[in-house]
Structure 1
């Protein structure tokens, strides 16, 4: 199951919602959305600084992640960035594949 790192920053309206619901309420909302698509939530952390929340989630496929990202962005409550995460084994497999590439200007 593909794993993703999600980094989120609350908009002003999103921060107001967080203040009303609390972190537990937001985690429950995330678990409902992710679980509803057959995925799972590995971790949810809240932070302060550039990012307000950091999550690690698993989805059955990348299209599910894209659907959630679009819905979240359309809500206006958050700005998010989703990064696919690869296992050590997946990178090992990638290093064994032959790729021919010509650098620009070479």
Structure 2
């Protein structure tokens, strides 16, 4: 199952909701969304600094991740970034694939 790193920052309205519900209330809401799309929350941490929330989530496919992202962003409660995570084996496979690429300005032959 594809794995994603989610980094999120609460808006002021989102922070008010967090204060009302507490972290456990938000965890339950996240798990409901993710499991409803066939996924699983591997890890969820609250932080401070640039990001307020860090998640590692497994989804069955990238479309499920996009659906969750659209719903969350439409709420206006969070600003999020999703990063696909790849295993060591997946990067090894990618490194073995031949890719024809010419850098801009390089002489091609």
Q: Partners in 2 of 1:83 and 1:51 — Cα distance?
A: 14
| 3-state SS of 2:60 partner | coil
Runs of 4+ off more than 2 Å: none
Q: Partners in 2 of 1:37 and 1:53 — Cα distance?
A: 20
Aligned to 1:35: 35
Aligned to 1:50: 50
Q: TM-score, normalised by structure 2?
A: 0.96
- Which entry has the higher C-alpha Rg, 1 or 2? 2
Q: Partners in 1 of 2:58 and 2:95 — Cα distance?
A: 24
Q: Partners in 2 of 1:23 and 1:87 — Cα distance?
A: 29
Aligned to 2:94: 94
Aligned to 1:105: 105
Q: TM-score, normalised by structure 1?
A: 0.99
Aligned to 1:23: 23
Report the number of matched residues: 106
Q: CA RMSD in A?
A: 0.4
Unmatched runs of 5 consecutive residues or more in structure 1? none
Q: Partners in 2 of 1:38 and 1:76 — Cα distance?
A: 24
